Chains A and B, each alone.
Chain A
Amino acid sequence: EPALHGEILSPNYPQAYPNEVKQTWDVEVPEGFGIHLYFTHLDVELSENCLYDSVQIVSGGVEEGKLCGQRTSKNPSSPIIEEFHIPYNKLQVTFTSDFSNEERYTGFAAYYVAVDVNECMDFADVPCSHFCNNFIGGYFCSCPPEYFLQDDMRNCGVNCSGDVFTTLIGEIASPNYPNPYPENSRCEYQIRLEEGFQVVVTMKREDFDMEPADLEGNCPDSLGFVTRDQRFGPYCGNGFPGPLTIETKSNTVDIVFQTDLTGQKKGWKLRYHGDPIPCPKEVSANSIWEPEKAKYVFKDVVKIICVEGFEIVQGSSSSTSFYSTCQSNGKWSDISRVKCQPVDCGTPEPVRNGNVEEPEDTLFGSLVRYACEEPYYYMEHEGSAEYQCSVNGTWVNEVLGAELPKCVPVCGVPSEAFEMKQR
């Protein structure tokens, strides 16, 4: 902990100081104090602007004084020759002597003491926004009723932050609205809706009156909306300058209302409501959507039905429809992953004692023909040769349905006739 006082003597004091010396003393007293530095003895070689030998006092990078020559106190009742009042708690004293001194000089003797600084009065800019209270070694700020000291311990503001709005509809106004809002405040409001809803802010132009922007267009008092991806505002002036309806596309909005020390107006009042996030009406090929709606929003569920002859193949299973939900991010679930593709019946199964022509394609509607190994086999059921790829992914025949044709042996027809010579 730095000392509250101290002594600074030149080298060899009170003997003569040596040549070619440069010595610096860093003086520090506790925070919240200033420094009263005074000299009771000064006997340093005199020169113009104290170029040769000197005692320099610097604080905060500014030279407070530079002493040289021989002086004594003018006031018989006080030993002080020179004194300095520094309103900071640090300074530097640097003694310099050059190489040649015709005479003996005995240097200097100085003392410093910590003195209370009246932070409330001694500086141009007052450290507190409202009430400043000085005490030895420091100061503290205090606030009028209804105001609270902010975290910076300097500014007073009303306690208008922290409100979280979670209802789907709500109204928010500046403190005391429509009476003048508090100065020097920062109010943060949070709207937090369920995922899947976007906050829509509506404002009436006349419900907004704040200190107008300065010449550079900066708002001394401002209202702004911030979402994860966007920032709306800041707004100020008489009459709301922004869009009267703001679709934030986000389920969370932070509202920041900031005021300075002057120019209070009636403030603002806004309404908000949660709009379910819309999902785009996608055109997914070869399918129809049920229900058909002009607009789909969060939590809407649609059944996407493949048109006849198309199906959804997922792994080893297939289906002709699937459900998709409008998600909180405005995208449909599964819709990119699942597609209605033509039913593919696959290569038709072979049959014993027959064959099936290689189909051009095996998609819905395709036709294939079976033939038996003639002349030894024939098709058991007339008209069971032609199969068509059906909607359920099987090859179907008019007569047999999905059952495969059957090639059965031709009976009673030898491949060679038996000719006898018998008459």
Chain B
Amino acid sequence: IFGGSFVKIESFPWQVFFRSEWAGGALLDEHWVLTAAHVVEGNPHPAMYVGSTTVQTSELDKAQALTAERVFIHPGWHPAPSQGARKNFDNDIALVRLKEPVKMGPTVSPICLPGSASKYNFSVGDLGMISGWGKTEKKDWVLRLRGAKLPITTLDMCQEVRGKDSQVEPRSYVFTENMLCAGGAGVDSCQGDSGGALAVKKLIEKSPKFYVAGLVSWGLECGTHGIYTKVQNYIGWIRATMQENSTPRED
């Protein structure tokens, strides 16, 4: 996280830590974690943890470990090209079904899924929050959770980003309507934060709650603007996948 600060897991109780991928995810309910497809595309059984602010082994031993029962990668996710860097992060979304239900508490609780109704739409300027153990201005990764607030901006802002590396041609990357752009003023997510939630608080039915508007997906240069998977476009798929793969009791 660039431009963030140390935070407590209690402020981001939905934050999931993907240990071997060193990435993030968002807890949706007792049995499901939402993350980016590129986080889990290589591992059908990722090891995950929730409820801990720090992720050193001694702390993780005390945290709630989650065991993946099955990974569901969005069918529209394209496998990485055999050569060179991935340019297409369209449909960068995946679900992980857990073997055992997660026990909620002050350090663990899910983030809300937005509905597909317009009242759940996120607008440019909405202030969101991101969190993760990923790269910061000074370190490649951190052991203690960091978080930051950042506004949703237009996708153009992301397309105009110039990477330090002039070799990188922004226009060679795929931008779609399934993506959100957020950031600015140095606040951004970065490698290691992938899959974490871009949480936006909305007051719906008189009750303010955080909804997952996006998932950390990719970006040209950390510390500028980042691209997030636009979760609202996948509500149908998410609901259907959870529905079809829930245990009978969960219906």
Contacts and interface: CB of A to CB of B under 8 A. Distances in A.
Interface residues of B, number: 35
Contacts of B147: 418, 420
Contacts of B19: none
B11 A413 contact: no
Interface stretch (B40-48, B109-117, B133-141, B217-225): B109-117
A411 B11 contact: no
**B contact face: mostly helix, strand, loop, or mixed:** loop
A418 B29 contact: no
A422 interface: yes
Contact of B109 (A413, A417, A418, A422): A413
B5 A376 contact: no
A376 B104 CA distance: 6
Contacts of A418: 7, 11-12, 129, 147, 149
A415 interface: yes
B26 to A, nearest CB: 10
A395 to B, nearest CB: 17
Given A414-B11, A417-B11, A409 B106 contact: no
A415 B106 contact: yes
Contacts of A335: none
B10 interface: yes
A411 B112 contact: yes
A416 B4 CA distance: 17
A402 to B, nearest CB: 14
Interface string B189-203: 000000000010100
B7 A409 contact: no
Nearest to A373: B104
Interface in A19-37: none
Contacts of B111: 411-412
B148 A420 contact: yes
Nearest to A372: B104
A177 interface: no
Contact of B211 (A377, A412, A414, A416): A412
A408 interface: yes
A392 interface: no
A121 interface: no
B107 interface: yes
B106 A412 contact: no
Interface of A: 352-353, 373, 376-377, 408-418, 420-422
30 contacts: A376-B108, A376-B109, A377-B104, A408-B29, A409-B102, A409-B109, A409-B110, A411-B28, A411-B209, A412-B111, A412-B199, A412-B210, A412-B211, A413-B209, A414-B11, A414-B12, A414-B13, A414-B210, A415-B13, A415-B106, A415-B107, A415-B109, A416-B10, A416-B106, A417-B11, A418-B12, A418-B129, A418-B147, A418-B149, A421-B5
